[in-house]
Chains A and B, each alone.
Chain A
Amino acid sequence: MRSANAKAKAQGVPVEAILADMAGLPPPGAAPALAPTGTNGTAAAPAPAAAPAAVPAGPPEGVRTQRLLTVVQAKAIQQVKAEPTDKVNVWPHLLAIEFVALLVVTAVLIVISVVINAPLLEAANFNLTPNPSKAPWYFLGLQELLSYFDPMIAGVLIPGLIGLVGLMAIPYIDRNPSVRPADRKLAIMMFTFFLMGAATLVIIGSFFRGPGFNFTYPWSDGVFFDDLKDWLE
C-alpha cells in the first residue's frame, strides 16, 4: 500500500490506478466497482506477489520512481562501518574498575590532605620580595628556561610555539598511520625527549634553585620550594 502511494505520487496518477495496475487489473475507470476493494487493504496483500508481472509495463519513459536522498560516506566523523571486534559489557567490567580507581585516588588524596597542610605563608606584602621568587611548579620549567635564554625565546617562543602550537599540530605532522611502537621509533623518541626535558627543567627549577635563582643542591643548601613547605619542615 505504501509503495503504491509513493508510486502514485511520483507518476502523478490516482492511487487506485496504481493499485489496480499492481494487482494486474484494468484501471479503475474501466471497472469502478473494483476500486473500493483495492483501497481497503484486503486486496493490497497479494499485490507484492503480482507486482513482477506488472513491471514490464513500468512507468512512462523518462519518469524516475526512486530518488537518491544522500550518500553516507565511510569517512564521515561517525564510524559507519562496523568491524567485528571483541567487546565486553561496560557494566560490570569497566564501571567496576573505574569505581575502584576513583576510590583509590580519593583515599590517597585524603591521606595526603590529612598529613600535609596546604602552604599558607605570611600575608601578601608588596614591599617584601621573597628570595627566591618562584612561579607555580608547573611553570618552573619555563622560569628555568628564562635563566638561559632571552625572555622572548624562553617566555613566548618555546611555550607558545613548541608547547601549544607544536603539541596541537602533532596529529597533522605525524602522517605515519601505524600505531605499533616498532613503526614509530622517531616519534616516540622525540616525544620522550620532550617529556624528559620538561620534567628535568621543572625538577631543577623546583629543587635546585635557591636565592637569586642560583643553582643550589637541595641536600646541602636546603630546598626552596614553598608548595611543600609544611611537609619539608
Chain B
Amino acid sequence: MANGNGSGGNGGLKLRERFAEAGSRIRNSQTWGSIFRPGSPFRAGYSDSPRNRSYVIMNNVLYHLHPVKVKRHGVRLSYTLCLGGLSFFLFILLTITGIFLMFYYTPSAEAAYADVQALSTSVTFGGLVRNLHRWGAHFMVITVFLHMSRVFYHGAYKPPREFNWVIGVILLLLTLLLSFTGYLLPWDQLALWAVTVGGNMAGFTPVFGDQVTFALLGGVEISGATLLRFYVLHVLFLPFIIVIFMAVHFWRVRKDGGISGPL
C-alpha cells in the first residue's frame, strides 16, 4: 500500500480486492446482520443447505405465506399456471398504481374528467400508470376467472376444501365489483353509460329492486353522488373487504392441506 494507487492491471486487481474487502466488512457488520435474519441469502456465510432453505421461508415475513415445502407436483408450472398467485400479484400492482392515481384525481362530477385528461397529458408517466391500472384490472378479472376454472378441473374444491371454494366465489364477485366501481371514475361517456346499463341490471332485483338501485347509485339516477359513492367503494371499502377474504382464502389453503392433487 506504500505506493498508493498502482497502474495498469495490477492496480485494477487491488481496487477489486478493496471492494471485496469493503463488501465483506459491510456484510459482517452488526447493522447488516440485524436487517437480514438467519437463513437470508443476503446474510454473510449463507450456504445452500436444507436448513437454510427452510429458514429462507420461515424467517421472512413475506415468504411466510408459503409452507417450507410443497408437494413436488405443485411446483410444476403446468399444474397451477401460477394463476392464483398472479391474481394476488395483480391486486398488489393495482393497489400501487391506484395509489399513484389517487394523487391526481378528484371524485367530483366537475373535476373528474379534467383530472383524468390531465393525468394522460401533463403528469410524468401518468398515462402509462393509468394504462397499467386499466389493463391490469382486466387481466385480474381474467386470471381470477381462469384460476377458478383451473381449480374446478382439478377437483380442488372437494373435501376438505369446500368452503375455500365458496370464499373464492366471493373473491370473484368482489373482483368484478372492484372493476365495475372503477369503471365509472373517468366520468366519460363510456363510463357513464356502461354504469347506467349495469345499474339498470341491478334494478331488476325482485322486491328490493328500487332500493338496490338507490343504495348503489346514491340516488334514483347516476349523479355526482354516485361518483363519490363508487370512488369510496373502489379505493377503500371493497379493497378492505377483499383483503380480509384473501387472508382467509390463503390461510385456508394452508390449513386444508396445501395444494390439491395430484390427480
Which residues from chain A sit less than 8 Å from chain B, CB to CB?
77-79, 85-95, 97-98, 101-102, 105-106, 109-110, 112-114, 116-126, 128-130, 133-139, 142-143, 146, 151-152, 155-156, 164, 167-168, 170-172, 174, 176-181, 184, 187-188, 191, 195, 226-227, 229
| Chain A residue nearest to B134 in the complex (CB) | A118
Kindly identify which residue among B54, B56, B68, B190 contacts A121, using a CB–CB cutoff of 8 Å.
B190
Question: B residues 155-169 with Cβ under 8 Å of A?
Answer: 155-163, 165-166, 169
Task: Say whether A178 contacts B155, CB under 8 Å.
Answer: yes
Whether A155 touches B165, Cβ cut-off 8 Å, given contacts A109-B132, A124-B191, is no
A123 → B minimal CB distance (Å): 4
Task: Say whether A113 contacts B132, CB under 8 Å.
Answer: yes
Question: B residues 108-160 with Cβ under 8 Å of A?
Answer: 109, 113, 116-117, 120, 127-128, 130-136, 138-139, 141, 148-149, 152-160
- Residues of B in contact (CB 8 Å), total 87
- Is B2's CB within 8 Å of the partner chain A? no
Task: Say whether B135 contacts A155, CB under 8 Å.
Answer: no
User: Contacts A119-B190, A120-B120 given; 20 further ones with Cβ under 8 A?
Assistant: A86-B72, A92-B53, A113-B131, A113-B135, A116-B131, A117-B131, A123-B188, A124-B189, A130-B189, A134-B194, A135-B197, A136-B180, A138-B176, A138-B179, A151-B201, A152-B204, A171-B163, A187-B155, A195-B149, A226-B190
Kindly identify which residue among B85, B135, B173, B189 contacts A128, using a CB–CB cutoff of 8 Å.
B189
A181 → B minimal CB distance (Å): 7
Complex-state Cα separation, A172 to B162, whole angstroms: 7
Complex-state Cα separation, A102 to B92, whole angstroms: 11
**A-B CB pair tally, cutoff 8 Å:** 206
Question: B residues 221-242 with Cβ under 8 Å of A?
Answer: 222
Whether A156 touches B53, Cβ cut-off 8 Å, given contacts A87-B72, A89-B68, A97-B75, is no
